[in-house]
Structure 1
């Protein structure tokens, strides 16, 4: 899992993407000489113009080659963060374990869309303006009075048509067309073309962003809720890194640090409810200058229970729980401790409990001994169990 060989064309394309994206601040890869590219903190799937597909999986275990566990973890995190209903127990889902992430997303989308079509697409009235030789609906008198004498035999009409031309259906049709063109799985290809025939009367979306904003959220659209995040993923509406340029790469790349942060947030809300409220940060600043706050201090999570407040921050990094000497320092960074100290002064007024959250693994399966800034302000380094979705909390915290 640490290295992979690429064709020369794919390597050159990735080098060009590295140079282009580096200027925008999205460091997808780091070039190491003329023969190596080091991947940055991104996971997902990326397709090169020559057809080469790269699947980048999170390495949260010490054993190499555990592709199934890494795929399962990434899928669980995406389902949790995007609120995709789990279907891990079905036989069809078990058969999809060995598929790359993009094929898995497309298969889940097709299954959700197939169930939606069986229940029935939502129809709505659409206003139609047309010119006919007969009267139908309402006559548009303003346009009719402006009709030239040579076209006086035609009527300007307005009427409503009850059809499936809705923003949600247009987006689903566009996503389905993408799946038909991209999938390489025989079962997905067959189901995609069957659904395309059944949705032949639905037009494609011409303005994806506008239709996404117009997606209905009332109770009549409740059965569309499960398919929306998958549709947005396929249309690259929520992909944090969508590659643009001459080649429209069907990529799904996610910054692992952000994905880990959101996954921890959802799991913490489940684990500590209802005693604790897990929320975002308030508006605190490191200092003030001329009456204005400078340098925002925004921790990942604030845990509240009445008047009690605790600050948590997540870091996607593998720690070594046995490297306790002053030289290794478990792999911790001094800058993170400076950051937590500033949080403690502004949010806790120098007295309270804070925590840095790292992923749990075989070498870091329990909390480290507490770090004391002083007698009143303490910092814990806690492991988060990615498989169980729970924070490992020591007795003294």
Structure 2
């Protein structure tokens, strides 16, 4: 199987129109990939198809079909070389901080797992966590059982008993309903299903051994038809919370399975994250931990315009900032944008739409003195500080109202926290 690693929004994946070179996809594989993307309902505009290439924008993660696997990583390393290991560590750190995955990046580093593709990392962490808990004891719950048996147990199901026994003159059996302790419940079915999916896609022998052993310990768990429709109903009680991490990952593995059930798509699997949403949630999480006492309600919103005649419609253009910080008498708005800054471009690469949006915040929120745009810092930037002020615009009415564009290092969590701290300290200084 071909394993291809590319950088989101930067690299192009070659499509070999005539013959297979081993470095890209064949034309047939590209068609299978397009079918998979359509079946999963991903944003089609994020997959930029050329005549002989494909570029993936705003999605990171992994797509795996029968003959190839594509790993998409964010370009956030401060090193000029294509250090996929650093990009992978950064992505996993962001996913963990944002609550998408429960994977400890430090554990991966100790076991040299960051050199593996994302799907292998995900499967390894899941299998280790699940097997650890299964060895401590399989979850057993009281389950309702209906059975046509030769002795009375629990309560009689009158309708079923009449239909199956009395109407057929079967007098030595009774249809009963009773509760018994059993491993055959929804949570364990989810684990078995996730194990079977991963056994079809992972190659690491240690991971496969753990998955197979997990299935052996869950051998009394029966088939799992229609589990996708029931998966959100799976819950753990207080005594079962040690399984929380494994269940969290198992659910994501099942959601990642393609809806296409054709035989030639048996191995289709993808788990992709929208990078702009991930970036916003990651920054929000760090701000909450570092400056939670300064954060204002993010749901507080205003409308840019009001309808003059209320009967003709509602308000126009709702403005809802990503984050607001209370800095004394004034507040600041912070907005995270997953785009690349470049000092050689007009407005350092800040889009006109972004500037107009930030100006609307300044105009509509009277107590806001500054709006901050935060962009990721990449190796292409000349500056190497955790946070760098790239540009600042002031309004005509007052120099006390401004828009600032910063680049923020994502190389390490500590660098990002330090960068956010510097930004807030600069804003505090500007307010005093």
TM-score > 0.5, shorter chain as reference = yes
Alignment match, 1:63: 80
Alignment-derived partner of residue 385 in structure 1: 409
Which region of structure 1 is more displaced relative to structure 2, 108-117 or 79-88? 79-88
**Corresponding residue of 2:362:** 344
**Could you say which residue in structure 1 is the equivalent of 2:351?**
333
For structure 2, list consecutive stretches of 5 or more residues without a partner in the other structure. 1-5, 14-22, 428-432
In structure 2, C-alpha distance between the alignment counterparts of 1:142 and 1:252, rounded to whole Å: 46
1:252 corresponds to 2:271: yes
Q: Could you say what secondary structure the match of 2:210 adopts?
A: helix
1:331, distance to aligned residue in structure 2 (A): 1.0
- 1:243 shift after superposition: 6.9
> How much has 1:372 moved relative to structure 2?
1.4
Whole-Å Cα distance in 2 between the matches of residues 245 and 340 of structure 1?
46
Q: Partner residue of 2:336? A: 314
**1:184 partner SS:** coil
1:41–1:256 CA contact under 8 A, matched in 2: yes
Change (3 A) 1:142 1:23: closer
2:100 and 2:60 map into 1 onto residues whose CA distance is 19
Give the equivalent residue in structure 2 for 1:182: 201
Shift of the 306–212 alpha-carbon distance from structure 1 to 2, 3 Å rule, reads farther
2:96 and 2:255 map into 1 onto residues whose CA distance is: 16
C-alpha contact 1:311 1:353 (8 A) present in aligned 2: yes
Contact 2:108–2:114 (Cα < 8 Å) also in 1 = no
SS of residue in 1 equivalent to 2:338: coil
Aligned pair in 2 of structure 1 residues 112, 158: CA closer, same or farther (>3 Å)?
same
Q: How does 1:91-240 map to 2 (within 5 A)?
A: 93-141=110-158, 143-144=160-161, 147-148=166-167, 150-236=169-255
Contact 1:281 1:302 in 2 (8 A): no
Matched, 1:297 2:319: yes
**2:405 aligned counterpart, secondary structure:** strand
Separation in 2 of the partners of 1:243 and 1:315? 32
SS in 2 for 1:97: helix
Q: Residue in 2 aligned with 1:355?
A: 372
What is the alpha-carbon distance in structure 2 between the residues aligned to residue 89 and residue 44 of structure 1?
Answer: 20
Contact 1:59–1:70 (8 Å) recurs in 2: yes
How many residue pairs are counted as aligned between the two chains?
385
Q: Deviations over 1:100-121 (max 9, x none)?
A: 0111111111011012112222
| Aligned 8 A contact 2:189 2:223 in 1 | yes
Contact 2:93 2:105 in 1 (8 A): no
Q: Give TM-score scaled by structure 1 length.
A: 0.86
2:40 and 2:92 map into 1 onto residues whose CA distance is 28
Relative to structure 1, the CA distance from residue 356 to residue 124 in structure 2 (aligned partners, 3 Å threshold; closer, same or farther) is same
Q: Distance in 1 between matches of 2:259 and 2:60?
A: 14
Where 1:318 maps in the other structure, the secondary structure is coil
Secondary structure of 2:332's counterpart equals strand
Counterpart secondary structure, 2:221? coil
CA contact (8 A) 2:36 2:260 kept: no
Q: TM-score, normalised by structure 2?
A: 0.80
Change (3 A) 1:278 1:383: farther
